[in-house]
Amino acid sequence: MERNNKLIIAFDGTHFHGWQKQAGVRTVQDEIEKVARRVVGRPVSVMGASRTDAGVHACGQVAHMITPDSIPVENLRRAIGHRLPQDIALVHAEQAPFDFHASRAALSKLYRYRIHNAEQRPVTGLGLGRAWHVWFPLDLERMRAGAAELVGRHDFAAFASQGSPRATTVRTVRRIGIRAVYEQVLIDVEGDGFLYNQVRNMVGTLYEVGRGHWPPEKVRAILASRQRANAGPTAPPHGLCLQWVRYPAPRGAADAA
């Protein structure tokens, strides 16, 4: 007998070449699959909800994997979690329906981008490697005005880097929240899915608005142009973190409530 396991995974992406398994480089998926194979005694495929890029972090990546049901879920979590390298944590594991697919079933995802907006480097607050250091002041009201142009269902071709095949460049951005927490500017982007480097390219564009190089209304023109060359730079990967992935409520949950 087999069981489908839903996993919640956190990792520091600094020394990973992204999530997805690739020959000759270290990836999060490959590290987890190697450990899971040793624990269950057979090859295991761990399918993630999001294919994070090299250097990007996660505190709420979701994955699923099929294993024999001879090992209780909690024992499986401990056995795998204790054997993972120090930069990966198996936060939670639970049984899921066999038709649950971490990527296809996802309703929305939230990425958070951190900008350390201060003259001093983020090392003073132990934030090195977790935030993009921008030493000159950013105007958050201008950035919020520009971000408002990106909310909704649009063709985001202007914010998609080359390198990942896609059937369409149309995506839905549900919300973009921008706030300051002491010296950090937090940019939360929730959407139904994202193109390659989309969030980092959006942040790079809002950065140009926030520093005063572009007016907020230029974001609308960039979006309409569908040309990547018109948008801002790709923000560095180390400031980005996958916060969570949302799924439909389990069958029967609404009735129980």
Active site residues per annotation: 53
**For residues 130 and 59, what is the distance between their CA atoms, to the nearest angstrom?**
12
Neighbour count for residue 129 (Cβ, 10 Å): 14
Unique residue bearing structure tokens 């923000």: 235
CA 238/CA 14 separation, integer angstroms: 7
Token duo for residue 15: 């020394």
Give me 178's structure tokens. 């921008």
Q: To 5 degrees, how large is the angle CA 148–CA 176–CA 7?
A: 155
3-state secondary structure 207-246: HHHHCCCCCCCHHHHHHHHCCHHHCCCCCCHHHEEEEEEE
Angstrom distance (rounded) from CA 153 to CA 197: 17
